[in-house]
Amino acid sequence: MNLSFFDQFMSPHLLGIPLILISLLFPALLLPSPRNRWITNRISTLQSWFIYTITKQLMTPLNKKGHKWALILSSLMIFLLSINLLGLLPYTFTPTTQLSMNLALAFPLWLATLLTGLRNQPSASLGHLLPEGTPTPLIPALIMIETTSLLIRPLALGVRLTANLTAGHLLIQLISTATAVLFSIMPAISILTACVLLLLTILEVAVAMIQAYVFVLLLSLYLQENI
């Protein structure tokens, strides 16, 4: 029984071929393609407004040098948001519950922000490792602590996204299983658990959106420190 709860996090296969690539590309098929018209349909207008709002929210704390990252950060936000929300549908697979995938997204982008800071302002980037006015005996310890906290950032990004989505999926499956089991034994309790399941599902929709935003927002803050 315990193994079946975690089967939903296993990458699906068909004839020995992993289908995770299809699940990663499928959200892009749902986005309407742009058209060369002055008047578009409501879906395209809503999409443009949504992308504009996301880009404005992410670029507000950055200066003009950081606006070069607008395309990649906005694309990452829409990508994570689509995958997280589609993963809440029944009989679907959520790629962002895989720690390997989240680390593959977090590590290169974090490294790019770090290398950007070392190239443009090496003194200021290295100065973050040692606060001003530190007593001399504490300098080696503080350098080690700050270096560790710097290197652990991509791991924290990946683990945060994975843990929140995994916990939500497990709770939904546990409560839905309890609802199905109690329906024939105690219908009143089953109705109560069904209401809890509905509220939890609404909460998980909010969590899926918030976690995608937090992932990209932290990357933008790391970028702000290095430009």
pLDDT in tens, 143-190: 888 888 888 999 999 999 999 998 888 888 888 888 888 888 888 888
Chain-centroid distance, C-alpha 86: 13
**In this structure, what token pair is assigned to residue 24?**
């990663």
Mean predicted lDDT score pLDDT of the chain: 82
Beta carbons within 10 angstroms of residue 135's beta carbon: 7
Q: What is the average pLDDT across 188-202?
A: 89
Q: Tell me, what amino acid is at 10?
A: M
pLDDT number for residue 1? 45
The listed range with the strongest mean pLDDT (31-35, 130-134, 169-173) is 169-173
pTM score: 0.81
Query: Which residues, in sequence order, are bridge partners of residue 14?
Result: 17
Q: What is the average pLDDT across 185-203?
A: 89
Q: Is 190 exposed, middle or buried (0-12, 13-18, 19+ CB in 10 A)?
A: middle
Tell me the DSSP string of 176-207.
HHHHHHHTTT-HHHHHHHHHHHHHHHHHHHHH
Query: Which residues, in sequence order, are bridge partners of residue 13?
Result: 18
